Amino acid sequence: MIDIQTINIFSIYWMVFALTLLPVLLSVKQPYGRHVRKGWGLTMPNKDAWIVMEIPSLIIIAALLIYYQNYTFISGILLALWLLHYLHRTLIFPFMIKTKGKQMPILIVFFGFFFNLVNASINGLSLTFPNDVYPDVNDNTRIIAGFLLFGTGMFINIYSDYQLIRLRRSSANGYKIPNNWLFNWISCPNYFGEIIEWTGFAVIAWNPAALSFAVWTMVNLIPRAIDHHKWYKNYFPEYPLNRKAVFPYIL
């Protein structure tokens, strides 16, 4: 019988697994978007790939929300925020990107699907588990700080993604140097926002599952931001030298 302790222990192993993968992700460019290349097997259209990869995060949380109906005020809000993020990521973002004709390796889609399946399951169960006194709503400062981080991160993530999407006005799949807003400090504000967002979620949720998801997000996105940053500098000789990859003034 699965219980909250089992989910917590699994979440800690899952987080340790993410950290062991960090050296791999720092040395192998994730082969999608600008880093897509041959040698990764069969591929599928980019837009469909995003929907398939992200859909477990939407369906699992929606199903748990409907099935268990066993949440507190705060855990209910957390589930709603998760759904909001993944409604956008699964059903809006793929239809906004301008990547016609671009492909993604099915292997990456499989990894993405599995990643979302595990993260949504452990986070959903942690938030809906019966008899879980959850979370400590007396700690108002932590909860407010978490909401501020989540909201700020989500805004930065979505706004930056759409700034990038707008750069590709023509049908060609080319790239331009983004030259506004947070792009003046970092190459990947969308990743910076996503990291802040899930850190905020973990601050509110205060459980191993949410912490593991924040760690996975960093492990996925920091190496990819470093790869994007190097790519910009190679591809555009005029790329501004003062920019960092993902954390202003730091990295």
Instruction: Give contact residues for ligand NDP (rule: CB under 6 A).
Output: 33-34, 97, 99, 102, 157, 161, 164-165, 167-168, 173, 175-176, 178, 190-191, 194, 216-217, 220-221, 224
Cα-based distances in Å from 129 to 61, 134, 137:
13, 9, 17
In the 3-class helix/strand/coil scheme, how is 107-124 assigned residue by residue?
A: HHHHHHHHHHHHHHHHHH
Angle at 154 between CA 15 and CA 157, to 5 degrees: 90
Report the residue number, 132 or 223, with the smaller CB distance to ligand NDP.
223
Q: How is residue 28 annotated by DSSP?
A: S
In the complex with ligand NDP, which residue's Cβ is closer, 33 or 56? 33
Residue nearest to ligand NDP as judged by C-beta position = 33
The three-point CA angle 75-132-11 to 5° equals 80
**Least separation in angstroms between CB 72 and ligand NDP:** 25
Least spacing, CB of residue 66 vs ligand NDP, in Å: 24
In the complex, minimum distance from the CB of residue 176 to ligand NDP, in angstroms, rounded to a whole number = 5
Comparing CB distances to ligand NDP, the nearer of 54 and 132 is 54
**Closest distance between ligand NDP and the C-beta of residue 181, in Å?**
13
Contact 123, 209 (CB under 8 A): yes
Q: How many CB atoms lie within 10 A of CB 72?
A: 14
**Closer CB to ligand NDP, 99 or 126, in the complex:** 99
Instruction: Locate 53 and state its tokens.
Output: 């990869």
